[in-house]
Amino acid sequence: MLESRVQESIKILKNASRSYSLPWALGFSGGKDSTTALSLTIKAKEEGAEFSKLYVLYADTMLEHHFLRKKSLEALESLKAFEWVEPVVVKAKEGNDFISMMVDKGYPAPSIFNRWCMARLKIYPVHRFLRQIGKRVMVLGVRSDESSRRKATVGTEPLIVKRNEIDVRPLVKWTKFDVFEYLLNEKRWDGESFDYVFELYGEECGFNPDVPCGTSDTRFGCWVCTLVNQEKMPVSETLKKVRTSLKEISSKREYRIIDENGNPRRLNLEGRKKVAELFLEALEKEPEAFGYDIGALKNKLETFLKDAREKTLSL
C-alpha cells in the first residue's frame, strides 16, 4: 500500500515538472509532513523530474521548538550537497519579530481574533522571497486527512492551478500512518536516518506502548504560541509558564491601553514590562529555546526594563 502511495506521489511530481517549466519551491518546517514531501521531491528529481531549481524555504521565527529548529537547520545544511537545491532561511523584518512586537510595540498575545504572528513571522517573509522568484510551482506537504475541517478546505486534488502559482500536493491522499511508515523505512537524502523525527513526536510514534503510532495529536511550531492547546506541544515547564503568562497579561485590562470607547488596545508600559521580564527570565533559564543572538536579546530586554522603570519613576 505504501509503495503504491510513494509511486503515485512521485508520478504527480514528475508530471507537474513536465507540464510547467518554472522554478520550484517547497515550504519546509522540519516536521513529518514537510520532511516527507521534500524527500519525495528529491526522489522524483533523481527519477527524472524535469525541474532545474528547487528552493527549500524555512521561515525561522526564532522561537520554534528548539529541537525541531536545530534539526531543521541541520537538514537545510545537508541540502547544499545538491547543486539544484537552494535552501533559504527567511525571517521577519527587523523589529517585527515576536518579542519586539510585544515588548516594543505593545501587541497583546496572539488570539483567534488577532493572529498577527502568523503573517509577520511566516507569511510575509515567505511571500517577500517568492515575489523575487515570480511564477512558480509550489510543493506543499498538506494532507486532507489532518482533520475534517482540513479535508473540507483542502480537498483531494494533487494539483491546483493558480494565477502565479501551481500547487503540487504529493501527500494530499496520504494518512498520518503512511507518513510515519515512510519515515521509518526510508533514509534521509544524505543517508541519515529519520530517527530524530520520531524523537520529536515521542509517544505519537510508539514510544508509549499504550499509544499506537499516529493516534495522538502532537503539534509543533513556536513554543511561545498562545493559540494551541499547551498539552499538544512537548516543552518545559519554564516555557509553558511563558505561554500561560502572556495570555494572562494580555487578558487583563490593567495591562492594556483603553480607548475612548472602553475597548482594550495595545499593551501599556506596565504590560510590556511584564512581558519583557517573562522573556528575560526564560532566556536566563533556557537560552537554547531562543534562536536570537542571545547577548543582543538580553541587552535589549534589560535596556527596555531599565528605561521603563526610569520612565515610571519620572511620572
Whether the pLDDT of residue 203 is over 90: the answer is no
Is the confidence at residue 211, as pLDDT, over 50? no
**pLDDT of res. 234:** 75
Domain boundaries along the sequence of the chain:
2-95+116-202, 236-314
pLDDT of residue 209: 38
pTM for the full predicted model: 0.89
232 vs 304, higher pLDDT: 304
- 263-292 residues labelled b (16+ CB within 10 A) or e (exposed): ebebbbbebbbbbbbbbbebbeebeebbbb
Rg (CA), the chain: 21
User: What is the per-residue pLDDT for 116?
Assistant: 95
Which phi and psi (to 5°) does residue 153 adopt? Answer: -90, -35
User: What is the reported pLDDT for 200?
Assistant: 82
Average pLDDT of the chain to the nearest whole number: 90
Q: Note the pLDDT tens digit of each residue in 152-166.
A: 677 889 999 988 899
pLDDT at 169 over 80: yes
pLDDT of residue 135: 94
- Which CATH number is correct for 2-95+116-202, 3.30.465.10, 3.40.50.2300, 3.40.50.620, 3.40.50.1970? 3.40.50.620
Question: Is residue 218 pLDDT above 70, yes or no?
Answer: no
What's the pLDDT score for residue 46? 96
pLDDT at 235: 83
Tell me the percentage of the chain whose pLDDT exceeds 70.
Answer: 90
Mean pLDDT of 5-9: 96
Per-residue pLDDT band at 151 (split at 50, 70, 90)? low
* In the predicted structure, residue 214 carries a pLDDT above the cut 50: no
Measure the CA–CA gap between 218 and 231, rounded to whole angstroms: 8
Asked if 69 and 291 count as a contact pair (C-beta separation under 8 A), the reply is: yes
With 70 as the cut, is the pLDDT of residue 199 above it?
yes
Confidence of residue 201 (pLDDT cuts 50, 70, 90): confident
Q: Confidence class of residue 228 from pLDDT cuts 50, 70 and 90?
A: confident
Give the separation between CA 100 and CA 88, rounded to whole angstroms. 23
DSSP assignment of 188-237, as one string? Answer: -TTS-BSHHHHHHHGGGGTSSTTS-TT-S----SBTT-SSS-GGGS---H
Task: Note the pLDDT of residue 230.
Answer: 53
Q: Residue 150: pLDDT band by 50, 70, 90 thresholds?
A: low
The 10s digit of each residue's pLDDT in 12-27 is 999 999 999 999 999 9
> For a pLDDT cut of 90, what percent of the chain falls above it?
78
C-alpha cell at 117: 504572528
